[in-house]
Amino acid sequence: MTQPPVTPVRAAAWLPDPLDDALVRYWDGHRWTFHTAVRQVAAPAPVEPVVQQPVRPALRPDIAAALERVRGGLVGSMKEINLLAGFLEPEERVLALTGAAGEGRGVLACTNHRLLFLFDGLISRQFLRVHWNRAKAVVYDQNTRMFQVYDVKPTKRAVPALAVQVANVSDAQAVVQAAQAASAAPRLDVV
């Protein structure tokens, strides 16, 4: 009696090598052969590059509100506005601000505690401040565009504790009005 041919369990093919995941081995339909090849791994699907938008640090609500009221003059001052929160005292709130020029282009801010000017350049940094309990007068001269804060009575020989140039008159007046509201003691003048 003749036996019918044995049907292979699996058809002949290149299959993953049972002993090495990095190879494929030829199965002849009955047994594994000695023929191997490096297993071809499908290339991963190309990943679309994620374009990240620059993340701006969130401004404190008081700084953001003061920034919205600025009418002009903030060209080149956003770096200082983003740094401003780090220079504020606890419980200090920004009431008004504007761009100003001291040793460089920065920001002049009026808070409930003081007036301050911040400039942060590549080579130099300037941080000026006068607390309300020290301020004797605030003067803004529209002709020279100088914003000056005195801690002594302003005279021709008096040297201001803080002096910066504010080009935008309406922004300077907004800072002066905020200063008048924040401080009860100093006399504030717009010349």
Instruction: Report pLDDT digits (tens) over 139-175.
Output: 888 889 898 888 888 888 989 988 998 888 888 888 8
- According to DSSP, the β-strands at 13-16 and 94-101 are unpaired
Instruction: Please list the residues that pair with 116 across neighbouring strands.
Output: 109, 129
User: Mean per-residue pLDDT for 102-106?
Assistant: 87
The overall average pLDDT reported for the chain is 81
pLDDT classification of 127: cutoffs 50, 70, 90:
confident
pLDDT for 54 equals 60
What single string gives the DSSP state of each residue in the chain? -PPPPPPPSS-SEEEE-SS-TTEEEEE-SSSEEEEEEEPPPPPPPPPPPP-PPPPPPPPPHHHHHHHHT--S--TT-HHHHHHGGGGPPTT--EEEEEEEESSSEEEEEEESSEEEEEEE-SS-EEEEEEETTT--EEEEETTTTEEEEESS---SSPPPSEEEE---HHHHHHHHHHHHHH-SSSEEEE-
User: What fold characterizes domain 61-190?
Assistant: PH-domain like (2.30.29)
CATH 2.30.29.30 residue ranges in the chain? 61-190
What single string gives the DSSP state of each residue in 132-185? TTT--EEEEETTTTEEEEESS---SSPPPSEEEE---HHHHHHHHHHHHHH-SS
177 — phi, psi (to 5°)? -60, -40
Token digits of residue 108: 């002049």
pLDDT for 185 equals 46
pLDDT for 2 equals 65
Segment 35-82, tens digit of pLDDT: 888 888 777 777 777 666 665 568 888 888 888 888 666 666 778 888
Q: Are 93 and 112 in contact (CB under 8 A)?
A: yes
Q: Is the pLDDT of residue 186 over 50?
A: no
CA distance 111 to 89: 10
